[in-house]
Structure 1
Amino acid sequence: MNNAQLNYHCADILVVDDTPDNLRVLSTALIERGYKVRCTKNGAMALLTAKKDPPHLILLDIKMPEMDGYEVCEQLKLDSSTSHIPVIFLSALDDVFDKVKGFAVGGVDYITKPFQIEEVVVRIQHQLALQAAKAEIYQLNNALEQKVRQRTLQLEEVIQQRDREIVKHKQTQKKLFYQALHDALTGLPNRTLFMEHLQKALHRITRNKDYLCAVLFIDLDRFKIINDSWGHAVGDRLLIAISHILKECSREVDTVARLSGDEFTILLEDLQDTQDAIAIAERLLEKLTAPIHLGECKVYIGASIGIVFGSVAYQTVNELLRDADIAMYRAKALGKGRYAIFDREMYDRTLHLSQLEIDLRYALERQEFLLHYQPIISVATGRLTGFEALLRWQHPKMGLIDPGDFIEIAEETGLIVPIGEWILQEACQQLYIWQQKFATTSLYISVNLSSKQIQQFDLVDKLAKILDRTGLNGKNLKLELTETMLMDRGEKTIELLFQIKEQNIQLSIDDFGTGYSSLSYLHRFPIDALKIDRSFVSPIDAEGKNCEIVRTIITLAHTLGIKAIAEGVETSHQLAVLKKLGCDEAQGYFFGTPVNFQLAEEILVKNV
């Protein structure tokens, strides 16, 4: 079956992803919709499969071992037998640099994980429809030439017939041209058309120093929640309603476009002043903050907007769009529902974070991580009861980096999972070494768990293997979780915690009182301790005032039959108040800062 005859509901699709779950979800969903699906787990096999029997379309993951998706795409485009195959990238990478690179190596589309199957199917149908239509045009042209040659002697008929191929051809071309440059759902210009308009705007800037334009990059703040709660049909209607709002708030000369998903852009041309762009952004935020009525549904969406102004400093449209995207993410970081104007500091910070992410990916294998240990003391006796293991990164160029500067990146990229496993392994191993060296089994090591680790289906098995490898008894390991992590998945979390407790591992709630907790749920969690956040301990003064919240948490803990542990103890009067209130354990600079394992051993020598 050639491309012109292709029925895209039964097309042959090659899915390339090193994650079995992704392969299973995609292949199952596509097969159910009538597609023929083949799957491969790495780039090399994908190239062999595509060359041997070229598919109609390839869904390609980016982050794969040995050969990433970018290289696979480049190899496909270099081979004449596979260069025509449309490639749609599927990736958890959501940075504008990654998207731009995907299109630069030959990708026709870019879908960010986690994806919605309906969106993937629509994108596939769109690309297959384009392929089929292009082939149809090619055949129509061939047919036209053949008929002209065959009917040379019947000139009048030839002319009439030719006029009728031409009309159809133009209609088809016009339709394809529109489809290729507009979003199928909203009818707005798509990325391709928007970039064309943006390129023309940059040319105007070079010709006229007084010409001013701006790009607004708009990302909806709560679209995923609404889409998941109300369903995709409502989500689509919302996107259409949003497109109308954006057009109403802009001017005739402006270009409103939908880039992908819930991302929109507006090119504001021929501005009189920078304040004009700010006024439009403020008007948009006001409209998008108000409730949007979709029949019987009333939804609240909100948006974050990045603003960048065109200048002769921009050499390409990609640079301009990149900076608008950076400004949008800055607006989100500042609390959403606002706009941010791009400046050089944002770009420098983005570059810094990008480089930090790259370095972080190699830090584990290069053994650049280390643990510091902060002593935990019995309030009643003043004796050492354990250590909290705290991660540090010994960067080869930037020196010792605290987790506050890289943990968020690790969370976003998923690197926190292998890093978290390393922390558990290292902490348990170190405590076991100390147990043998100092002949003590009463001390425990406390380790923070991330939300990503809690979501791992094999967490319980991993914990068991770590205890088995290190020889540490589960009773000497305490895992710290936040209130939000406990409440996120309700019953599933309770079941998981009980499975962990079966290994005698202790559990505590970290920073208690600062997050969302439900007292009706609290007694159901098999928790051994509540850790009082430093923000409640710090206000305690020399007269013992400002300790009401601390007293309440200690009372709550003891009512539940568990310990209360205070963090951030820095003064003797804070310790005295905690002792009076019956707090069980404490940690903070008053007892000692986090130290490396050599200095931790010196503390052990004085306490065992």
Structure 2
Amino acid sequence: MTRNYSGDILIVDDMPNNLRFLSTTLTEQGYKVRSVTDGLMALTVAKAAKPDLILLDIMMPNIDGYETCVRLKADEKTCDIPVIFLSALDEVIDKVKAFTVGGVDYITKPFQLEEVLARIQTHLSLRFAQKEIRQLNAELEQRVRQRTVQLEQEIAERLQVQERLLHLALHDVLTGLPNRTWFMKRLEQILQQANQQSGSHFAVLFLDCDRFQSVNDSLGHLVGDQLLVSIARRIQLCLRPGTMLCRLGGDEFAILLQDTEKYADAIKTADDILRELAAPFQISEYQVFTNVSIGIVIGNGVYRQPEHILRDADTAMYQAKANGKARYQVFEQTMHNLALYNFQLESDLRHALERQELEAYYQPIVNAISNEITSFEALVRWNHPEKGLVVPNKFIPIAEETGLVIAIDLFVLRQACQQLRIWRDAGIVKHSLTMNVNLSVKHFMSFDLLEQIDRVLEETGIDGDSLRLEITESDIMENAEFAGKIIAQLHDRHIQLSIDDFGTGYSSLSYLHRLPINHLKIDRSFVMRIGKNGKNTEIIKAIIALAKSLDMFTIAEGVETQEQLAQIRELHCDFCQGYLFSRPVNAEAAQNLLLTGFKTQA
């Protein structure tokens, strides 16, 4: 039976919403909670109150989480307090640094509450177990002096407790597999052997479950946990005896293949695993389909640190996901170079947000018949101090991975609403002109999206009916139930919703017709190939018919030629957007379009 340990917890986070959410939740769970907003306050409170556990954010003012942890570990009064990092940073190098400075665990934001509670309970259990063993040792020493007859029995009892503690420290509670700590210790031993013995090779496989989060979101964490156990068992069926399989955390696993001298051994193992996991999993009454993306590193004397091996395997795994998931990718040095480039780009992007290097550009959306500008789509551009103007496809993927995209979305939303207010106050636009703003799925599914939108609208004096949010079709349908609730609340605020890139993903028409969606944007790939022979015309015609049957408007993206415009008009599409009218331009140029119109003869 699992024992629940209550205790004192100190939460350190500069985001009030996070503090309030965690404090309330943990207090309801029976913990005594203190919270502070920066590292310096954390050091003071930790010395005075001596909490049993610290939840520590990384990105904070004054001193960051890493420096805070270093100072805690350097002080004899606080050095033994376990620290769990909570951070939006999800790179292996960030996690490695967290463990290097003394952290005992690392949870990536946006976190799952059940995971946070489980990690807290595990480390509190370990801490209190350590206290118990220290107390037991003290009692044993006293009793040895009084009652020597039972010495052997008591020593055996202490050894059992120590073995239990060691097992708890080195194994994953859910699957029973070795955990990250044990894996890294073993990997370090194998690496030392490879460096000492010429020709000694090994391989590391880094596995990450595909679409596991959607299982948790739709079926619950109990089903998710059972799925992880089933995945671990199937993977073990593919491994030869003595091969180490560990759970690194979350839905990540790692395999250590010893005495392998060629890629073929690792690739065969990866193929066996992918084939084994292809069959559906029966979890309770649910049939679940999932697989894994696998990164492979062949280890030899070139590597010096085990962390670098895991880093490169993780990099290769992400490449496998980018290539379509449910496949493997062998690490190549060019991937590391790209990872370093992306790391620098991420660092620059964080500074860009701080230094206000981002700028909203505007592309007009026009009435297909009258050519009148009815709205603008606000698009982000990055004025890099060295690289000049950087377009979104160069940095938005990095922003999506790191969570920075939420801050970018919010910046564009606020700047677009402010610009619309300026134009209205100057009498340049009618009240009917709207602003289209793109939302990433991470932002669309964030718990405080509506609060953020309400705040921007209030600050800028813009009504909800002047705002149209764009999100892709696949993002809505992958999270249909939750998305439906958010869309309904947006509709209550008279905020319009547009489905972007329509026709390229998948839709449940039976569900789509129940959502209060205003516009379907026909993807540019269909418009570009409409051609002289009318290629893709039937697809566009079908989308327009569908939209009209659901009382929605249609917008054709990527209109670049008079011929395309003519066919779009002939199909009775409502609105157009594309280079034929204007490229995305800054606010000044957009204002000129409003005042002078288009140069095209559209």
Normalising by structure 1, we get a TM-score of: 0.86
Give the partner amino acid of 1:499: D
State which drifts further: 51-60 or 594-603. 594-603
Counterpart check, 1:498 vs 2:491 = yes
Aligned to 1:3: none
Give the partner amino acid of 1:40: V
The 5-angstrom pairing of residues 294-333 of structure 1 reads 298-333=287-322
* C-alpha spacing 1:248/1:63, structure 2 compared with 1 (3 Å): same
Give the partner amino acid of 2:11: V
Cα shift at 1:342: 0.9
Q: Secondary structure at the match of 2:354?
A: coil
* C-alpha spacing 1:15/1:570, structure 2 compared with 1 (3 Å): same
Which of residues 8, 11, 21 in structure 2 aligns to 1:12?
A: 8
Counterpart check, 1:365 vs 2:361 = no
Aligned to 1:183: 172
Which of residues 404, 417, 431 in structure 2 aligns to 1:415?
A: 404
Find the aligned partners of 2:100 and 2:570 in 1 and give their Cα distance: 66
Find the aligned partners of 1:403 and 1:204 in 2 and give their Cα distance: 46
Find the aligned partners of 1:62 and 1:227 in 2 and give their Cα distance: 26
Cα shift at 1:107: 1.0
Which of residues 421, 429, 436 in structure 2 aligns to 1:447?
A: 436
* C-alpha spacing 1:374/1:317, structure 2 compared with 1 (3 Å): same
Which of residues 507, 526, 535 in structure 1 aligns to 2:525?
A: 535
Counterpart check, 1:593 vs 2:593 = no
Find the aligned partners of 2:206 and 2:69 in 1 and give their Cα distance: 28
RMSD: 3.2
Give the partner amino acid of 1:96: V
* C-alpha spacing 1:119/1:556, structure 2 compared with 1 (3 Å): closer
Aligned to 1:396: 385
Q: Secondary structure at the match of 2:414?
A: helix
Aligned to 1:4: none
Aligned to 2:555: 565
Cα shift at 1:103: 0.8
Q: Is the 1:140–1:165 contact (alpha carbons within 8 Å) kept by the matching residues of 2?
A: no
Q: Secondary structure at the match of 1:425?
A: helix
1:510-562 C-alpha deviation (Å, 9 max, x unpaired): 33333344445555555554332211211222244541222233344455555
Find the aligned partners of 2:528 and 2:585 in 1 and give their Cα distance: 22
**Larger-gyration structure (1/2):** 1
Aligned to 2:504: 514
Find the aligned partners of 1:499 and 1:184 in 2 and give their Cα distance: 45
* C-alpha spacing 1:300/1:601, structure 2 compared with 1 (3 Å): closer
Q: Is the 2:10–2:55 contact (alpha carbons within 8 Å) kept by the matching residues of 1?
A: yes
Q: Secondary structure at the match of 1:552?
A: helix
* C-alpha spacing 1:529/1:34, structure 2 compared with 1 (3 Å): closer
Q: Is the 1:215–1:267 contact (alpha carbons within 8 Å) kept by the matching residues of 2?
A: yes
Q: Secondary structure at the match of 1:364?
A: helix
Find the aligned partners of 1:293 and 1:466 in 2 and give their Cα distance: 46
* C-alpha spacing 1:9/1:245, structure 2 compared with 1 (3 Å): same
Aligned to 1:95: 91
* C-alpha spacing 1:45/1:540, structure 2 compared with 1 (3 Å): same
Find the aligned partners of 2:450 and 2:176 in 1 and give their Cα distance: 49
Q: Secondary structure at the match of 2:493?
A: helix
Q: Is the 2:375–2:436 contact (alpha carbons within 8 Å) kept by the matching residues of 1?
A: no
Q: Secondary structure at the match of 1:371?
A: strand
Aligned to 1:55: 51
Give the partner amino acid of 2:379: L
Q: Secondary structure at the match of 1:10?
A: coil
Give the partner amino acid of 2:164: K
Give the partner amino acid of 2:351: Y
Q: Secondary structure at the match of 1:583?
A: coil
1:212-260 C-alpha deviation (Å, 9 max, x unpaired): 1011111222444444555544444443333333333222342221221
Aligned to 2:251: 262
Aligned to 2:473: 483
Q: Secondary structure at the match of 1:372?
A: strand
1:392-442 C-alpha deviation (Å, 9 max, x unpaired): 111112222111122233334443333223323333444555566685537
Find the aligned partners of 2:487 and 2:346 in 1 and give their Cα distance: 33
Give the partner amino acid of 1:80: E
Which of residues 70, 74, 82 in structure 2 aligns to 1:74?
A: 70
Which of residues 91, 100, 109 in structure 2 aligns to 1:104?
A: 100
1:483-510 C-alpha deviation (Å, 9 max, x unpaired): 3455533542342232332xxx655433
Find the aligned partners of 1:43 and 1:571 in 2 and give their Cα distance: 58
Cα shift at 1:126: 3.2
Which of residues 255, 262, 273 in structure 2 aligns to 1:273?
A: 262
Aligned to 1:578: 568
Q: Is the 1:494–1:524 contact (alpha carbons within 8 Å) kept by the matching residues of 2?
A: no
1:282-311 C-alpha deviation (Å, 9 max, x unpaired): 111111222345576654331111111112
Q: Is the 1:389–1:445 contact (alpha carbons within 8 Å) kept by the matching residues of 2?
A: no
The 5-angstrom pairing of residues 543-562 of structure 1 reads 543-559=533-549
Aligned to 2:414: 425
* C-alpha spacing 1:267/1:578, structure 2 compared with 1 (3 Å): same
Give the partner amino acid of 2:326: G
Give the partner amino acid of 1:480: E
Find the aligned partners of 2:433 and 2:168 in 1 and give their Cα distance: 64
Aligned to 2:344: 355
Q: Is the 2:14–2:37 contact (alpha carbons within 8 Å) kept by the matching residues of 1?
A: yes
Q: Is the 1:486–1:493 contact (alpha carbons within 8 Å) kept by the matching residues of 2?
A: no
1:161-197 C-alpha deviation (Å, 9 max, x unpaired): 5444443333333333333222233332222221121
1:3-53 C-alpha deviation (Å, 9 max, x unpaired): xxxx96232222333444544554444444443333333323322221112
The 5-angstrom pairing of residues 32-181 of structure 1 reads 32-142=28-138, 150=145, 158=148, 160-181=149-170
Q: Secondary structure at the match of 2:247?
A: strand
Cα shift at 1:318: 0.7
* C-alpha spacing 1:166/1:296, structure 2 compared with 1 (3 Å): same
* C-alpha spacing 1:478/1:491, structure 2 compared with 1 (3 Å): closer
Find the aligned partners of 2:510 and 2:163 in 1 and give their Cα distance: 63
Aligned to 1:154: none
Q: Is the 2:374–2:434 contact (alpha carbons within 8 Å) kept by the matching residues of 1?
A: no
* C-alpha spacing 1:441/1:201, structure 2 compared with 1 (3 Å): same
Give the partner amino acid of 2:207: I
Percentage identity across paired residues of the two chains: 51
Q: Secondary structure at the match of 2:532?
A: coil
Find the aligned partners of 1:112 and 1:365 in 2 and give their Cα distance: 22
Q: Secondary structure at the match of 2:360?
A: strand
Cα shift at 1:280: 0.9
Cα shift at 1:446: 3.6
Aligned to 1:221: 210
Give the partner amino acid of 1:301: T
* C-alpha spacing 1:521/1:599, structure 2 compared with 1 (3 Å): same
User: Which consecutive residues of structure 2, in runs of 5 or more, have no partner in the other structure?
Assistant: none
State which drifts further: 65-74 or 110-119. 110-119
| Count of residue pairs the alignment pairs up | 592
Aligned to 1:240: 229
Aligned to 2:324: 335
Q: Secondary structure at the match of 1:365?
A: helix
Q: Is the 2:90–2:402 contact (alpha carbons within 8 Å) kept by the matching residues of 1?
A: no
Q: Is the 1:47–1:72 contact (alpha carbons within 8 Å) kept by the matching residues of 2?
A: yes
Give the partner amino acid of 1:398: K
Find the aligned partners of 1:354 and 1:566 in 2 and give their Cα distance: 36
Find the aligned partners of 2:498 and 2:116 in 1 and give their Cα distance: 41
